[in-house]
């Protein structure tokens, strides 16, 4: 077995950390829709250099946005399975759900709600059934991200790609200096940094993880908007019930966005854990006479 020092060096070779600032003044909507779509666009740009033949893809979560048309143009004829968000309203809800129905009827796609996944902890897909998983800003809201990685490994085909983004632990760091009497801070369910995620991916048998990170800075002229976005990002328990004096809240929020992609390679091999090899029962052949 490799030593911890050797493993650490191996992990470091896979990591590329890029941090820079980008200024935004647009406030988020109830379920951070614009942010999801912006990050999805950046994720797809990062995959421009990746050669990938996709017949079936899984979106976790799926939500309205321009990224959907980009995906279908890049992978024409792809079956898109979806774990979709339900907290939509208005015309966006109608058109999005119509698209889910259309993909199910004409492409045989399988759909389930994110709420159902969170209850069951199980993706409603067979083993080795998709070539590509696209997960945008989900992992920070999972109590057990490692279990989600295991499910992704299960449903990916040999050679499949898992692409993801999530909010890292420095998200909303400006709020930590605010007087605790104003509001109660709320930690992200999964405050993993990019190195935590890299360790977890290698631990779950994913190969060649490539990760990077950037800081996005959201600027505010209104406490009301800042508090609304902090609530949408699940950084505070609840907004203050009274009007605050000017200057008590910061005028910006930092988002630490972690990106990564990794491959499911060698699924037929045994898993080694704690110096014990675990062999899939399907790998055991019957001796012929």
C-alpha closest to that of 179 among 256, 250, 255: 250
Answer whether residue 199 is part of any domain: yes
Q: For 52-74, what is each residue's pLDDT tens digit?
A: 999 999 999 998 888 999 999 99
Q: What percent of the chain has pLDDT over 90?
A: 54
Report the residue count for the chain: 289
- The whole-number pLDDT of residue 115 equals 92
C-alpha 133/C-alpha 153 separation (Å) is 10
Answer whether residue 289 is part of any domain: no
- The whole-number pLDDT of residue 274 equals 46
| pTM assigned to the model | 0.82
Answer whether residue 131 is part of any domain: yes
Torsion, Cα of 104, 52, 45, 83 (10° steps): 30
Answer whether residue 40 is part of any domain: yes
Place 12 in a pLDDT band, splitting at 50, 70 and 90: very low
Mean residue pLDDT across the chain: 82
The first and second tokens of residue 46, run together, are: 């990062």
C-alpha 127/C-alpha 155 separation (Å) is 4
Torsion, Cα of 193, 14, 125, 82 (10° steps): 60
Q: For 223-279, what is each residue's pLDDT tens digit?
A: 888 998 999 899 998 878 777 888 889 999 999 999 999 999 999 875 545 444 444
- The whole-number pLDDT of residue 92 equals 64
CATH number of the domain within which 49 lies: 3.40.50.150
Answer whether residue 288 is part of any domain: no
Answer whether residue 150 is part of any domain: yes
Q: What's the average model confidence in pLDDT over 86-98?
A: 68
**What's the number of domains the chain is made of?**
1
Residue 147 has pLDDT above 90, yes or no: yes
Residue 135, domain extent:
4-283
């Amino acid at each position: 077995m490799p030593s911890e020092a050797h493993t650490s060096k191996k992990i470091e070779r896979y990591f590329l950390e890029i941090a820079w600032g980008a200024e935004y003044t647009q406030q988020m909507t109830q379920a951070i829709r614009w942010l999801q779509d912006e990050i999805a666009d950046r994720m797809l740009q990062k995959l421009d250099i990746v050669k990938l033949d996709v017949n079936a893809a899984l979106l976790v979560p799926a939500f309205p946005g321009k990224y959907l048309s980009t995906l279908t143009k890049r992978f024409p004829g792809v079956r898109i399975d979806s774990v979709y968000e339900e907290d939509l309203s208005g015309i966006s809800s109608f058109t999005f759900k119509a698209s889910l129905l259309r993909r199910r009827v004409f492409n045989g796609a399988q759909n389930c709600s994110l709420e159902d996944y969170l209850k069951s902890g199980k993706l409603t897909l067979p083993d080795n059934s998709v070539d590509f998983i696209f997960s945008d800003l989900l992992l920070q809201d999972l109590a057990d991200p490692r279990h989600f990685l295991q499910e992704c490994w299960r449903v990916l085909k040999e050679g499949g790609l898992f692409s993801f983004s999530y909010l890292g632990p420095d998200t909303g760091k400006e709020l930590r200096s605010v007087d605790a009497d104003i509001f109660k801070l709320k930690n992200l369910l999964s405050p993993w940094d990019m190195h935590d995620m890299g360790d977890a991916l290698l631990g779950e048998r994913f190969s060649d993880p490539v990760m990077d990170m950037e800081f996005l800075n959201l600027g505010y002229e209104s406490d009301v908007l800042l508090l609304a976005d902090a609530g949408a990002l699940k950084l505070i328990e609840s907004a203050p019930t009274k009007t605050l004096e000017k200057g008590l809240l910061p005028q910006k929020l930092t988002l630490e966005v972690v990106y990564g992609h990794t491959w499911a390679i060698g699924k037929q091999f045994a898993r080694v854990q704690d110096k014990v090899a675990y062999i899939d029962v399907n790998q055991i052949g019957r001796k012929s006479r």
